[in-house]
Structure 1
């Protein structure tokens, strides 16, 4: 009788809860932010592989890679024998995602919109899916607290610096961010204004456009900063040295996933950016 009762209770659990309790759960994450969320929730040991954008924590970086999130192959993912695939809307190509579903795998693709609320929603949803709801709530509360504190400080600012976000990797041409990008949203959250608002997305950097933008600060992810060889490399980019940022040597480099990931370290990223953009106000108690 007791066995029947236990079985009945088990069958009545929500599907996601039953799945999360599976001791054989094997997860493949298809995005660096998703990987970081799973590890931050204390479930990193369940991850058997991830994509090449999964740079943090070190344990995630050391796992087998299944390719870049936008150029995946079903074979590489299936070889890891996962039973849960988690990714953001960038994951693809679409036919690969359909192949994974056709193979009987549970594939969940979350929205990739930048912003505090979308980030909180993804953390809560992933936490619920993998049986880490309480841990997700803690992370969400921390992000809310930090972002609200910075928002309060921003509301008292008399002026905001113009920020030029530069993306550079390896030998590729440097690009700058217009509107409707994760960089654009982080600049706003950190108490700055985007120096480039004439287009959406990213465009290659040109001397004329950079000088016309007259940025007070150059913002760049750490990996790009390092690939350029530091400050000297940043100021050697077309037009940068002839801007207020170049003349005052103002460059802010922040870890790629902290700055653009909109994951569990979002609150820390907002704080770091605000303090870098407003060093005088951040020193005040």
Structure 2
């Protein structure tokens, strides 16, 4: 090949190479993602892909800018029509989403990718890797998972000094006349354990209506509640006056710990920081060093 032919070949090849190198970026930019599940959305943002989101569900509250996106309803009461009307190229849904008939409809569209959602450290890692794979951000997911697991390991190291684990109850209200408590195999129980507390209602699984007598018998040293639940009960003074609370050690000491639902119970990238914060509230005499701020912990 003479020099002239070589230069002509090169001139034709370079633009093609440049176009090929830009295809992943162009494809990502053209993606329209509907994210269902607060921790799924949080993970999308932590991987640097928030600009691909076109709609989210009502549990998606972090980072703050996602609150300005169109909403497709509550995680467990979805409707396929509203989701598909957003013109998504991909739908990422937490394994907690429902109802099943709607998930089946979304699956039939070929756009749905389910994301595992278990309230454990391993579950957080699996969630990050699944979202990363769905977004073709495997390397970014690998690094995010590594840092989150390093933070979890540091929390565990600092909490090795804990000797006495207080009994903790999760009290919730979702519009029912009586409050609910969280037993084992719930996100509330899992975060309590991570923070070196012991669930006062570990004798049953899931959530149950709490009778005043059961709360008093469980004798929690502290009670954790979401801000929304406190408001639905009528405020902190009303909570402290509840028969479920007033007769417990937690009620008598005024140890009601207000938590953010997604932060503490979502089991997303911020879980290590949430566990550290709850641990400090449960063990105020401990001198915990805290964790480094991460890009994904900023709103």
TM-score using structure 2 length:
0.84
Distance 1:141 1:229, change over 3 A: farther
1:265 maps to 2:241 = no
SS of match in other structure, 1:154: helix
Which deviates more from structure 2 when the two are superposed, residues 44-53 or residues 163-172?
Answer: 163-172
**Structure 1, unaligned stretches of length 5 or more?**
11-16
For the residues of structure 2 that align with 1:283 and 1:189, how far apart are their CA atoms? 14
Displacement, 1:100?
Answer: 2.0
1:98 maps to 2:104 = yes
Which deviates more from structure 2 when the two are superposed, residues 134-143 or residues 213-222?
Answer: 134-143
Displacement, 1:238?
Answer: 2.5
Aligned to 1:14: none
Summarize deviations over 1:101-149 as a string: whole Å, max 9, x none: 323x321112221101111111122123213334433432332222212
Aligned to 2:154: 149
Larger Rg: 2
What is the 5 A alignment of 1:125-144?
125-144=130-149
SS of match in other structure, 1:186: helix
Q: 2:207 aligns with which of 199, 202, 208?
A: 202
Aligned to 1:123: 128
Summarize deviations over 1:43-102 as a string: whole Å, max 9, x none: 111111111111222222221111112221111111110010101112222222222232
Displacement, 1:190?
Answer: 0.5
For the 8 Å contact 2:116–2:126, the answer to whether it is kept is no
**Structure 2, unaligned stretches of length 5 or more?**
1-8, 291-299
For the residues of structure 1 that align with 2:25 and 2:143, how far apart are their CA atoms? 22
1:61 maps to 2:67 = yes
Q: 1:109 aligns with which of 102, 108, 114?
A: 114
For the 8 Å contact 2:38–2:61, the answer to whether it is kept is yes
Give the RMSD, CA atoms, in angstroms.
Answer: 2.6
For the 8 Å contact 2:119–2:190, the answer to whether it is kept is yes
Q: 2:29 aligns with which of 18, 23, 28?
A: 23
For the 8 Å contact 2:195–2:278, the answer to whether it is kept is yes
For the residues of structure 2 that align with 1:190 and 1:124, how far apart are their CA atoms? 24
For the 8 Å contact 2:34–2:83, the answer to whether it is kept is yes
